[in-house]
Structures are given as C-alpha cells and as structure tokens.
Structure 1
Amino acid sequence: MRRLLLAGLALAASTFAASVLTAFTALPARAAYPDRPITLIVPWGAGGGTDAVARIVAALLEKDLGQPVAVVNRTGGQGVVGHQAIADATPDGYTIGIITVEIAMMHWQGLTQLSGASYVPLALMNEDPAGVQVRADAPYKTVDDLLADIKANPGKFKASGTGQGGIWHLALAGMLSSLKMDPKSVPWVPSNGAAPGLQDLVAGGVQLVTCSLPEARSLIDAGRVKSLAIMATDRSKLMPNIPTLKEATGSGWTIGAWRGFAAPKGIDKAVSDKLQAALKKVYDSKEYQEFLSGRGFGGRYADGPGFAAFMAEADASLGAVMKEVGLAK
C-alpha cells in the first residue's frame, strides 16, 4: 500500500512539473522593440523647418526600426502644447518627439514648468546659428562698422526677426551684452518669424535682422541682403566667406535655433539606447546629410548625455540674457 501511495505521489509530482513547464513554454516571448508603429510629436506647424527635420528623420527611422513612424503636429501655446504632449506620453518608446530651442526659454517666460530636464534626451540633430543681416546697400563692410554706428547712435537702429523674446531677439541682446553694449540700445520690432522681418529690412522699416543664414539665403542670393557675421564657433559651410562673431569682434557669444529628439521620463534604458543608436545612424546617413545641405540647415550631433549637457548650458545662457533684457518672469 505504501509503495502504491509513493508511486502515485511521484506520478502526480511528475505530471505537475510537466504541466508547469508546458505552461511556461506556451507563454509568448516578449516582443522585441518596436513591434508596432511609433508616433513622433512635433510642437510646431506642418511645413516649417522643424516639421521638415522631423519628417526626414521619421522616414529614415522607419527603414532602420522596421515600423512606421507617424509625424503628428501638436501646435499651440507658443510651443508649450506639443512639448507638454511629449513629456506626458506613455514612456514605452512608442511616442517620442522633437524638441526645440524654445524648451530652454519658455519656462523663463512663465509659460510652462517644462525644461530640458523634463525629458530623456535621445539626440541633438541640427543647429542653425544666428546671423547679422543688413540691407545689401547698407554702408557697413563689417559687423564692427555696424556696431560702431549703433554705439554712436543708440536708439536709432531697429531690429526684427521673430516675436518679442524669441530666439533671434535673444541673439541680438546677447551679442550686444557680450560687447558691453546696452541690449536696449536697439529697439526690437516683433514679427511673425524671420521672413516678414527680412521683408521689413528690405523695405527699410528696420535696419538689422538677426536670423539664421538658411532663412536669409534667398534674399542674400538675390543681392538684396548681406550677412556680416554669424554667432557660431565655426564658419558656415553654406556661406564660408562670412566671419564668425568672434573673428570679427572678439566676442565669444554663440547662439542658434536647434532641434533634437527626446522621450518621456521613465522610458526603459534598452529602448532609449536603441532609439539613440537609430538616430545616430540617421544623422550619419547620406540622405540626412544631403537634406541638411540642400536646405542650408546646419548639422550638429550629440548623443543623449551630450544633448542633456547642451540643453543645460543653453538654458543657463538664455536665462541670463532674458533676465538682463527684462523678459524673464
């Protein structure tokens, strides 16, 4: 009887073990990321420079990741709506976004609590330095000539290129401040971007526009506008004859409009690493480099940690300028 009982227990144990093993082996293996489409949020409107960068990157990511990458424009609130949507997304790697220089400015203006630290940075992919543009028939051969006239006639010159407190306004204010000049000595005329500001320059409504070379390119090529310097560490590949501000004046002030990619806080490191690697492939690709050169956009790459450091530095420098000109709250 005892032998029969022991045999029965052994059989039951064996059966149980077999059933558990079968159950575990029947469970589906965890799918490798990504196994479904990815959404890429753009905080600015369709057709603009940020949208164009997002769409070429999305198309190239699709090839590498093997899943569709859908671009969704979430506009409003001077960029706050889209940037908030990226930060609030589920951190599973299926919603990422493109963040722009405004993330280092909006919280200083009291528009949001968001900053670069609100995200997991993936890659910096583009930067377009500010240039100093005047009319082609202006008497200035160098930016020093222009600055000397501004010093001699404070308040005479007006400048434009973006809204009050926008990136190109801060470019001008930072440049003047770095040269020990009063940033308020050149009144700012707000505009809905560089294009209307440049048209106002050509028409004589303002005497100076600080914006990127790609934005001014068509008027420079047409011989109606000239650029005297760019606020960058190196000369532009697009127009290498234009000196940097440091070459021209000794000022080390640099600033530009930049774009990078980020994910919500809490994303799995393995997923973040895969996205960073994919974005590096995109940046190095022939297609992306041809896109940049064709549009006149500036290339600048940094990996996740490098992008985080870059944003922290931008936040500090832009905040200092905004406080100086009374734009910080």
Structure 2
Amino acid sequence: MKFKIGLVLLSVMMLLAGCGGNSEEGNAANNYPERNIEVLVGHGAGGGTDLFARAVTSELEDILGVNINVVNQEGGAGVVAAQNAYNAPSDGYTLVGDAAFPLTVAAGTNQHGLDDFTPIARFQSDTYALWVDPDKYSSIEDFIQAAEDNPGEITVGGTGSMGMDEFTVFLLGQEAEVDLSFIAMEGAGDMHAGVIGGHLDAMVEEFGPAKALYDDGSVEPLVVFSEERLDEFPDLPTTVENGWDLTDGNERGFYIKSDADPEIISVLEEAMKEVYDSEEYKAYEEENYLHLREGWMDSEEFTQRTEELIERYTEVADELQGN
C-alpha cells in the first residue's frame, strides 16, 4: 500500500514539475519585454531604412516600456545584420530592420531566408521615380528616345549593386525595351551629385530623399513607378500608363528569428500596429512622402508578400547574374 502511495505521489510531483516548467516558459512571453531590445539595421546611419527604424523604435519604446537600441551594421545590403541576428538567441531581444531582405535572399547573398526569419510587420512600401536634370530631359518620352538612339550609353545611378535600385533599372530597361547602363554609387549623396553634375543621365530615387533637390529645381521626376498618378504630382505620368508593369519599391519592415516564441511575435506585431496608427508616425510619413501608398502589413500578410517577392526577384537576379 505504501509503495502504491509513493508511486502516486511521485507521479503528482512529476506532473507539477512539468506544469511548472511550462509556466516558467509561458511567463517569459507574458512578461516580455523585460530588458532592452536591439534592432540591427544593415544600412548606414541617415539612410531611409535607418531613419525608418529610428522613427518606429522611438514610439515603440513608450509602448513596450523598455529602451530599444538601433545598431547600424552595414554590409551586403543587410546580410551582415541578418547573420548577426541569426547568431543571437531566439528570445525576442534581437530584431532586424530591413528593406532588402527579399532581394538578398533572391540573389543568394543572404543564406537565412524565411526558414530562419519571420516577418513581424511591414511599415512602408516606398515609391520610386526616375529623376533627371530638367535641362537635359523634359519628358519620359525624351529620355526613352535618347536611350533608343544611344543603346547602352544612357546611365542611370542607384545605390549599391544587386539591390532594389539595380533591379529597378534592369526591369525598366526590359519593360521599355531599351538598353540602360546602371551605375552603382556608394551612397545617395554621390548619386544626387552625379545627376546634378551631369555625370549621370538619371537616377532612381524615392520622393523623400529627392524632395530638397526637387524644391530648388536641381532635379525633376519623369515617371513614377506606380499604378495611379500621385495627388502631390498630378502631372507626373506613371509606369503603368506607359504600359510598363513596374511598381515595386523598397518595402521596409521588421524581422525576428523564426523559432522565437509566437506570443512574443504577437506582442511585437500589436505594438508595431499601434506605432503605425499613431499621429507621430503619420506625421513622419507625410513629411518624408512615405504616405503615397499604404504601407502596413501584419505578420501573415508580410510573410506572404515576402515569399512572392523572393520568387519574383530570384528570376531577376538569375538574369542579372547571367544564370
């Protein structure tokens, strides 16, 4: 009889111990976050992705009640930051802020795709335009005619190689059936100076970074990569109305290691949606022309979108690399 009672007590103790372990694991998610969070940004300080990450995290700190440190880790268009985040614990305290994740996965430079990282939320779907010196080209028709007359000689600048800028120029050439020469610049400042100084015929750039140059008359957009004309630029033609199926832009969001606790991912997703809907973030969007099209996607939507982009850009990368 004593033996049976002992077995019963042992079983109860083991059950309670198991429940206690699960409770401890659950509490880690329930109490999240309990300390500072790091956001690794694989792009330089002052660039579009860096400014985006800092705008979001400044609001996110108040919501989550902890400090959030943005750490710039340049290299490989976000590959270095992704690798370092992958090497960190899967505890939700190391995130990635990125705009090039689908591109680097598609190009094969980032070995850690959606098996290793889960998209938390997308904030921005930025809008590209083709910008020129207004004294050089007066319309997109003039530019395309020049490209037809001088195949391979019309230069279009962008930042970095095998990134969104180069992909966009390559696809524009395909859609418009012209041979454009992409010139990789080290940064946006060099690219802007190249157009203004006449060293580049054009550049692909977003509206926010080009605003000051547009305001002083240094550059002019010839076409916007969009389905519909923009209210702010009603006379600016779109790629779609020219018959070019080309509307992609930088899509900025946050990622976390895929084996992180799903409850932690939900906490972050909900907090980020609160930031996205805040007056402060909306003001930042408008000031930087990031409100031109809807940016928000939740984790499920952003994951599906990322899958689609990786598939699309893998084909482009293969063509660019001659595979």
Identity value in percent? 27
Aligned-partner Cα distance in 2 for 1:237–1:205:
31
Q: Within 1, Cα distance between the matches of 2:113 and 2:211?
A: 31
**1:289 maps to what in 2?**
282
* Shift in Å, 1:240: 4.5
The corresponding residue for 2:243 is: 250
State the match for 1:168 in structure 2. 165
Whole-angstrom distance in 1 between the partners of 2:188 and 2:280: 27
Q: Distance in 2 between matches of 1:240 and 1:33?
A: 47
Q: Partner residue of 1:57?
A: 56
Tell me the CA shift for residue 265 of structure 1. 1.1
CA displacement at 1:191 relative to structure 2: 1.0
The whole-number CA distance in structure 2 between the counterparts of 1:201 and 1:239 is: 21
Question: Are 1:39 and 1:70, in contact at CA under 8 Å, matched by a contact in 2?
Answer: yes
Deviation at 1:328, TM superposition (A): 6.2
2:44 aligns to what?
A: 45
CA contact (8 A) 1:108 1:328 kept: no
Provide TM-score, normalisation by structure 1.
Answer: 0.83
| Gap change, CA 1:297 and 1:202, over 3 Å in 2 | same
Conserved in 1, the CA contact under 8 Å of 2:97 and 2:255? yes
Aligned residues: 304
Mapped partners of 1:274, 1:319: distance in 2: 32
SS at match of 1:308: helix
Please, which moves more after superposition, 69-78 or 168-177?
A: 69-78
Pick one of 139, 150, 160 that aligns with 2:147: 150
Deviation for aligned residue 1:263: 0.9
TM alignment of 1:98-113, pairs within 5 A: 98-101=97-100, 103-113=101-111
Q: Could you tell me how far apart the structure 1 residues matched to 2:237 and 2:108 are?
A: 36
Show the counterpart of 2:321.
327
The offset of 1:125, in angstroms, is 0.6
1:296 aligned counterpart, secondary structure: coil
Once the 2 structures are TM-superposed, how far is the Cα of residue 60 of structure 1 from its aligned partner?
A: 1.1
Instruction: Indicate how the Cα distance of structure 1 residues 118 and 150 shifts in structure 2: closer, same or farther if over 3 A, else same.
Output: same
Provide Cα deviations, 1:248-303, integer angstroms capped at 9, x if missing partner.
x0212112122101111111112111111111111111111111111233451111
Deviation per CA, 1:89-132, whole angstroms, max 9, x where unpaired? Answer: 3222222221222x222244442312345311110011222211
Please, what is the CA RMSD of the aligned residues?
Answer: 2.8
**Relative to structure 2, which stretch is displaced further, 223-232 or 71-80?**
71-80
Aligned partners of 2:322, 2:89: CA distance in 1, in Å? 31
Tell me which structure has the larger Cα radius of gyration. Answer: 1
Q: Using structure 2 for the length normalisation, give the TM-score.
A: 0.84
CA–CA distance in structure 1, aligned partners of residues 312 and 141 of structure 2: 23
**Residues 1:269 and 2:268 aligned together:** no
Q: Which runs of 4+ in 1 moved over 4 A?
A: none
Match of 1:233 in 2: 227
Deviates more, 1:73-82 or 1:200-209: 73-82
In the other structure, the counterpart of 2:130 is 132
- The answer for unaligned runs of 5 or more in structure 1 is 1-5
Q: Which amino acid aligns with 1:37?
A: N
1:25-75 residue CA offsets vs partner (Å, 9 max, x unmatched): xx9993522222222222222222211111121121111112222222223
* Residues 235, 195 of structure 1: alpha-carbon distance in 2 compared, 3 angstrom cutoff: farther
Cα distance in 1 between the residues matched to 2:249 and 2:159: 13
Corresponding position of 1:200: 194
Compared with structure 1, are the counterparts of its residues 239 and 54 closer, same or farther at alpha carbon in structure 2 (3 Å cutoff)? same
Q: Structure 2: 5+ residue runs without aligned partners?
A: none
Distance 1:227 1:220 in 2: 8
Residues 1:211 and 2:209 aligned together: no
In structure 2, what is the Cα distance between the partners aligned to 1:44 and 1:277? 25
Q: Separation in 1 of the partners of 2:276 and 2:315?
A: 31
